Structure 1
C-alpha cells in the first residue's frame, strides 16, 4: 500500500462509516497511518471516541467523531452537516450488517433497517460526497463494501445478498459515471471476515480473512481496479463459483449458508 499516494490523491480527510469496529475500524487505522485525517461514523459514539483518541495518539492526525444511526434520516443529516466544513477526498461506505435464515421467518423491521443501512445510506453518501468531490475539482475516491454473496442469490441469507448485489452494481456504474471527474470508485467484495458481522447475522464462520487484510487490499486497489476480492480464501471461493451458471451457484451458496446457520435449526428429537 502506497501511503504517500493515498495522502496525495485522497487526502486531506476521509469519511468512514461503520468505523467503531471490524472493517471500518481497520480502514480508519490504515488511513490514519497514511496521514489522512479521518471522520469516524457509527451509532456507538462512546466507542468511536475511544477509537478516535487512540488514532490521535498513535498517528498524530485530526479525528472527528459523528455518532449517527444511518438507518434514520436524522443520522444521515448529522453526517452531512458535521462534515460540510471539511475537504473530504475519500468516502468509505463500510457500515452494514447481515441477517440469516429463511426469508419467510424474517423479522421485517430488521430487514427494513438492513435495507436502509446497506443500500440507501450508502447511496446517500455516494451522492453527497460524490458531488462534493466533483465540486472541489481534485482527485478523490469512493469505496463501497460489496461481498462475494452478491454475485448470485444466496439462500438463507437472501436479503443480505441482495443488498450486496445492489452495492456491486452501483459501484460498477458509478465508476464509469464519475471517472471523467477524476473520482475513483471501487467495490470491495470479500468473503467471510473475522469481525462482529457473524455474531449479528447469527452465522458461524470457520474460516475467514481479517478486517486488516480487507482494508489493506482494498486501499491498494483503489484507483487501479473496478472490484477487489481481498484475501486468498475469498478469491478461491469467488473464482471457483463464477464459471458456473447462476442457478447452480445459488444452490451451492445455499449449502454453504446451511452449514453456517446449522445451529439455528431445531435439533431432531432423540
Structure 2
C-alpha cells in the first residue's frame, strides 16, 4: 500500500479495530498527551489519567471542543497502589478497548548516590502499577475477544545502562512483559505492543535530571506506535530510534552497556 494511502486509512483502521474508547495514563503531557491527541483525532472517546487534575481538565475541554468526543478525567498518582486500583476499575464500567500505558518517570546518576524512596516510587509506577492496570484491562479485552495494549518501553530496555541502572531495569521489565503478552494474547484477539523510542523532547529529562539536547517529538512516538499496533510486537518509532538501534546492534551486550554508560555521562554531567 502506498505511504499516503496508509496514512489516510490509519485513523479509521485504528478506531474500527480498537474503538470506541481508549484509556491513556500519563496523559497530562509528553508522550501520553500526544497519544490522547492522536486518538481524539481518530474519534476515540477517552479516559485520561495523570496526577494533575487541573491540567487534565483543561486538556479534556480542548479535545471535546475540537473533536466532539466524550472525555473522562481521572486524577491518580500511580505510585499509590490504591489509586492504581481505581484506574484498573475503569475497565469494568467503560467500553474501553485500547490501553496506552504511558505513565512513567526516570532517575539518573550513580545508583548508590540516589534517593531510595524515589527509586522505589519509580518501580511502583513503571512496573507495579503498569502491571496492575494491564492485568485488569487484558482480562476485560480477552472476555470481549478484542482489544489493544501499548506499553512504553525504551531504547534503554535492551541492555544495562550505567547512571540510569534502575530506570533501564524498569524498562527491561516492560519490554519483556510486552513481548510475552504479545504472544500470549494475540490468539485471543488482543494486540500488545512495546514502544521503544530513543530520547524524546518532553519534561522527562528535567525530572530525571538529564540534558536531552535533541530527540524525537512526542507526536512521532505516538503516531509510529499507533501505526504499528496489531502489526508487530515491538516498534522503534521514528527515525532517531531506528538509527540508534542500528548503531548499537552490532555491539555485544557488554559493549552496548559501555556505550550507553558514556552517553549517560554526557547527559547527566552537572
The answer (yes or no) to whether the contact 1:66–1:82 under 8 Å persists in 2 is no
User: 1:244 and 2:254 equivalent?
Assistant: no
User: 1:220 and 2:227 equivalent?
Assistant: yes
User: C-alpha root-mean-square deviation of aligned residues, in Å?
Assistant: 0.9
Q: Distance in 2 between matches of 1:244 and 1:231?
A: 22
SS at match of 1:195: coil
**Residue 31 of structure 1 aligns with which residue?**
39
1:170-185 paired onto structure 2 within 5 Å: 170-185=177-192
In the alignment, structure 1 segments of 5+ residues that lack a partner are 264-270
Deviations 1:197-247 (A, max 9, x none): 000000001110000010000000000011110121111111211221111
**Residue 30 of structure 2 aligns with which residue?**
22
Report the Cα offset of residue 81 of structure 1: 3.3
Report the Cα offset of residue 121 of structure 1: 0.8
In the alignment, structure 2 segments of 5+ residues that lack a partner are 1-6
**Residue 3 of structure 2 aligns with which residue?**
none
The answer (yes or no) to whether the contact 2:91–2:136 under 8 Å persists in 1 is no
The answer (yes or no) to whether the contact 2:164–2:264 under 8 Å persists in 1 is yes
For residue 78 of structure 1, the aligned residue among 80, 86, 90 is 86
After the TM superposition, which parts of structure 1 deviate over 2 Å for at least 4 consecutive aligned residues?
Answer: 80-84
Structure 1 window deviating more from structure 2 (174-183 vs 73-82): it is: 73-82
1:58-207 paired onto structure 2 within 5 Å: 58-137=66-145, 139-207=146-214
The answer (yes or no) to whether the contact 1:142–1:185 under 8 Å persists in 2 is yes
Report the Cα offset of residue 99 of structure 1: 0.3
Q: Distance in 2 between matches of 1:216 and 1:258?
A: 30
Q: Distance in 2 between matches of 1:129 and 1:89?
A: 8
Q: Distance in 2 between matches of 1:66 and 1:230?
A: 28
TM-score in terms of structure 1 length? 0.95
